[in-house]
Structure 1
Amino acid sequence: MLKDGQVYLGTSFLTDKDGNQSSQGEYLNLKLANRHGLIAGATGTGKTVSLQILTEGFSAAGVPVFCADVKGDLSGLAVAGEPKDFLAKRAETIGFTDDYKYEAMPAIFWDLFGEQGHPIRTTISDMGPLLLSRLMDLNATQEGVLNIAFKLADDEGLLLLDLKDLRALLVNMEERRKELSTAYGNVSTASIGAIQRQLLVLEQQGAEHFFGEAALDIMDLMRTTRDGRGMVNVLAADKLMQSPRLYATFLLWLLSELFEELPEVGDRDRPRLVFFFDEAHLLFDDAPKILVEKVEQVVKLIRSKGVGVYFVTQNPIDIPDGVLSQLGNRIQHALRAFTPRDQKAVRVAAETFRPNPGLNTRETIMAMGVGEALVSTLMKKGVPSIVQQTLIRPPSSRLGPLTKAERKEIIQNSPVYGVYDEPKDRESAFEVLKERAEEKARREEEQRAEEDRQREDKGRMRKGRTGFTLPDFGRDDRPTRSSRRKSTRRRNSNRQSVAEAAMKSVARSVATSLGKALVRGILGSLKRGF
């Protein structure tokens, strides 16, 4: 599985011009594994197995892995494989019998819904307006209003932890719409209403499980075992895939968090973490140009943080050219050319490999069987190897999903068991704004009671001087317009007590300090440690 700092992928068979055959192992160099990669191929051609053997190799080398389990098959990484004839035959064919053994990988199971693994949560503030706008499919105007909401929360020191916090803030913005439009820009009722409707859609998709605390600590994805193996973090994504925009936005947020939080480490002998992005086309489907540009920027820069990103998809054309050009390590399974789009995908896949004089890459892509792939990885100095048709090695862990009992046992023995399983709800924007509204209603009630008392006092004074109640003679007890203006000015000037003024001053200074401390990164997520 490992040889001289390289992960064994499989064996290719070569035929020279004289018809002589030879074989050579195909390896992934760990020093260059942070230069990202691509696993592509049609459904049923072996992409999942390629992902599985890469994960096993990285884990054995002490590299933690994060991968999404879209079909449930990857959960089998957590238990040892079972002897099967076709696995033994493949190992014998490629000369892997001496090193081949069945073993389990150390795994942690995660689930946004908290059903098949430990819950993963983040806060609304941590995600930021850019990714949240993408998640809610907002237009430019609505995204602008959402940016104002985040700016207002930062300025007033309001924590946005979950969906109810954001909803409460939007209600507050509607009540203060004229004031905020002057200070921050136009805040329209229509945009606020559109955002509120999209929040309801998110709740129906189960996003309320994702937003809140305890928020995920990225370092919990980068654990190793006592014997030096990297932990394999498996995200249960079978249910999550029913909400593809939530799936794509979550993985993009996670990539953003890794980029923002991890320090620069330069070149290492192996990555700090490898991140597999399955069903990668969902990230780019209908994505605005600015988001695609930012993803491209993150992919370019995150390798200096020691993170390798591997996209798994059916067609290479699902990946924008700017991102595809960054993927140096490639495993290309078979493609079928039934449509013009399929033919284009075959052509693109063939042309992106370093040519092999003895191999017709384009024809080979369409003719390969299950478990075969075209492999090209980065060699010394980052030069891609000549593409070779390769028989992928059999996995050491189980092919297929875990049982419910097996999954439950692994979750209960997890190093993060009990850390994230119970939600927390500390005071945040919802509670603060509710308290403000109640305080405002109380002050208004006290003011009305005071005005009623003053009117009663005036009536009693008139009755006390004459011994009987003076006739009204058509006069209204209500003050005249000029007296009302004076009274209003007097009340306004007296409404803010010394204590209230002090509290407002403290609030302003806190908000200012928060505004300086809250710095957002490339994809809008919060940077920490400032």
Structure 2
Amino acid sequence: MSKRDSFIDVLTKGQTYKKDFITLGTGILDGEAITEANVKVPLKTMNRHGLIAGATGTGKTKTLQVIAEQLSLKGVPSVLMDLKGDLSGLAKPGEVKDFIISRSEKIGVDYTPQGLPVELMSISDEKGVKLKATVSEFGPVLMSQILELNDTQRGVMALVFRYCDLHHLPLLDLKDLKRVLQFIINEGKEQIKAEFGQVSSASVNTIMRKIIELEQQGADKFFGERSFEVNDFVRTEDGKGVISIIRLTDIQSKPKLFSTFMLSLLSEVYETFPEQGDADQPKLCIFIDEAHLVFSNASKDLLEKIEAIIKLIRSKGVGVYFCTQTPTDVPDSVLGQLGLKVQHALRAFTAKDRKAITKTAENYPITEFYDTAEVLTSMGIGEALITALSEKGIPTPLAHTLVRAPISRMDILSTSEIDDLVSNSSLTAKYNVHLDRESAFEMLNSKLDEVEKEQEKATLPGPKPRTTTRTTQDESLIEELSKNTMVRQIGRTIFRELTRGILGSFSRRR
């Protein structure tokens, strides 16, 4: 058997599937694309997570685009976190060009340009459907981890949430959280001490400073109502999965806000989606571009939560895919959970780079057809080393792959095209509304004003009123605040004492 026939036999034997799959490209041997050696990934294993890595300009983003396209065509929706702003072209058909036709012929696939159903979203000032979440939905544990609080400060945060639960004070945005923190060391100091014990002013002040730091990164636009529903990410149009692109180009320098949103999304998905078990295809795939922004700025506790999510969320039918420059950007504990690995070329300019390449090569299956370390530095644009999981969960043979071209536009949308897409969205009317209902901030200020007015009346000269029961002055401030228990509900946020999930956030009842 020739080397070519042996290559085809090894590759196709490991990728013969009974269920549906997506084709990413075709294998390359000795510089030649082997049409008979297609590289396939079964949909059944797309909830086992993945990595797309490679140096700048090697085609990572286009590979991400290809995977999202092929999933959409199979009816699988996806969420793409777009930090560079170059994924919006998924909404429009690509252009027929000679080099694209030539590549498609080598791979043995048809090239039919088409746009996919796309939803543009944002957590900042970018145009799109506005995604938000309330402070209450985060819960004290996740909020403490985002703010990187110590044990003492975490105790204060838990006290704040407990107090607001008991006294029906909605925590919607950051100004609510700051107002309650001010209350427990100022006006309500004695009442809090009697009910919960002494609270350190130094701890509260530290928490306040960290909240302000989070606000400076734009989190004040993210926290509030109306809260996003993760089920809006799981939609299809005409049998195609909707691709939700979250536009994050203006928060590249705000990693804390990025990680805050990412964790809230994964947390909500985990707590909301039912257990799915082994299904023929994933329910949702989430792609995190520039993933190093998450890990390089995450605390130890935050990394542990990410690792826990990656381990558990696949049982909900959700696959998480990290896109970054080198695999070393992703912690080993997370890398060990990944099924699909797409490695574009790496560049070796320094001794450190060469060591990183050697380490990367060791993470891939041994193959008789390649010197993996050598291939890593010699691949061209649009080529990658790929290994996936078979239907039985076994890693497929490593293949130097010529990746197929995207069928959608390999460029961004124009301003007018973005405006049309956003204005025609059915979700814009649902989420792009300003809600600032009465919550902890307004309720505390209102009740304190009432108490001050009652105290002023009591000091005015006049006949002494007859008193057969307690007067307002005899009531504690906590009793005053506790009277108003009927809070008007808007949207999904229901304020009551709830069981919080493993990530410390509210379990939203449906």
Q: TM-score range by the shorter chain?
A: 0.7 to 0.9
1:221-256 deviation digits (Å, cap 9, x = unpaired): 11111x211000001111022211101221111011
1:170 corresponds, among 178, 181, 184, to: 181
Pairing 1:453–2:434 present: no
Give unpaired runs (5+ residues) of structure 1.
458-486, 509-513
Between the two proteins, what is the percent identity of the paired residues?
Answer: 42
Q: Tell me, in whole angstroms, the C-alpha distance in 2 between the residues paired with 1:15 and 1:285.
A: 38
Q: Tell me, in whole angstroms, the C-alpha distance in 2 between the residues paired with 1:161 and 1:364.
A: 52
State the AA in 1 paired with 2:47.
N
1:34 alignment partner, SS class: coil
User: Residue 144 of structure 1: CA displacement?
Assistant: 3.3
What is the correspondence of 1:78-477 to structure 2 with a 5 Å cutoff?
78-96=91-109, 99-175=110-186, 176-181=188-193, 183-184=195-196, 186-225=198-237, 227-449=238-460, 452-453=461-462
Pair 1:277–1:221, CA change in 2 (3 A): same
Q: Tell me, in whole angstroms, the C-alpha distance in 2 between the residues paired with 1:506 and 1:237.
A: 40
CA RMSD of aligned residues (A): 2.9
Pair 1:433–1:14, CA change in 2 (3 A): same
Q: Tell me, in whole angstroms, the C-alpha distance in 2 between the residues paired with 1:106 and 1:493.
A: 63
1:94-133 deviation digits (Å, cap 9, x = unpaired): 233xx21100010000011253211111111112233333
Q: Tell me, in whole angstroms, the C-alpha distance in 1 between the residues paired with 2:33 and 2:83.
A: 43
Pair 1:22–1:106, CA change in 2 (3 A): closer
State the AA in 1 paired with 2:153.
Q
Q: Who is 1:511 aligned against? A: none
User: Residue 495 of structure 1: CA displacement?
Assistant: 4.7
Pairing 1:528–2:508 present: yes
Contact 2:214-2:256 within 8 A present in 1 as well = no
User: Residue 13 of structure 1: CA displacement?
Assistant: 2.5
Pair 1:349–1:134, CA change in 2 (3 A): same
Give unpaired runs (5+ residues) of structure 2.
1-16, 487-493
1:374 alignment partner, SS class: strand
Q: Tell me, in whole angstroms, the C-alpha distance in 2 between the residues paired with 1:162 and 1:505.
A: 23
State the AA in 1 paired with 2:227.
A
User: Residue 14 of structure 1: CA displacement?
Assistant: 3.5
Compare the two structures and name the one with the higher helix fraction: 1
Q: 213-222 or 514-523: which moved more?
A: 514-523
Q: Who is 2:498 aligned against? A: 518
State the AA in 1 paired with 2:29.
L
Of the two, which has the highest radius of gyration?
A: 1
Contact 2:167-2:481 within 8 A present in 1 as well = no
1:348-381 deviation digits (Å, cap 9, x = unpaired): 3212222111211122112211111000010021
Q: Who is 1:9 aligned against? A: 24
Contact 1:177-1:188 within 8 A present in 2 as well = no
Contact 1:75-1:402 within 8 A present in 2 as well = yes
Contact 2:444-2:481 within 8 A present in 1 as well = no
Q: Who is 1:41 aligned against? A: 54
1:336 alignment partner, SS class: coil
Q: Tell me, in whole angstroms, the C-alpha distance in 2 between the residues paired with 1:283 and 1:321.
A: 14
Q: Who is 2:72 aligned against? A: 59
Q: Tell me, in whole angstroms, the C-alpha distance in 2 between the residues paired with 1:204 and 1:323.
A: 30
State the AA in 1 paired with 2:69.
E
Count, aligned residues: 483
Q: 360-369 or 47-56: which moved more?
A: 360-369
User: Residue 180 of structure 1: CA displacement?
Assistant: 2.9
Q: Tell me, in whole angstroms, the C-alpha distance in 1 between the residues paired with 2:190 and 2:306.
A: 36
2:252 alignment partner, SS class: helix
State the AA in 2 paired with 1:39.
I
User: Residue 257 of structure 1: CA displacement?
Assistant: 0.6
Pair 1:397–1:502, CA change in 2 (3 A): closer
1:527 alignment partner, SS class: coil
Contact 1:114-1:421 within 8 A present in 2 as well = no
1:329-359 deviation digits (Å, cap 9, x = unpaired): 1101111233444334323321222211121
Q: Tell me, in whole angstroms, the C-alpha distance in 2 between the residues paired with 1:48 and 1:231.
A: 18
Contact 1:354-1:387 within 8 A present in 2 as well = yes
Contact 2:137-2:506 within 8 A present in 1 as well = yes
TM-score under structure 2 normalisation? 0.88
Q: 262-271 or 357-366: which moved more?
A: 357-366
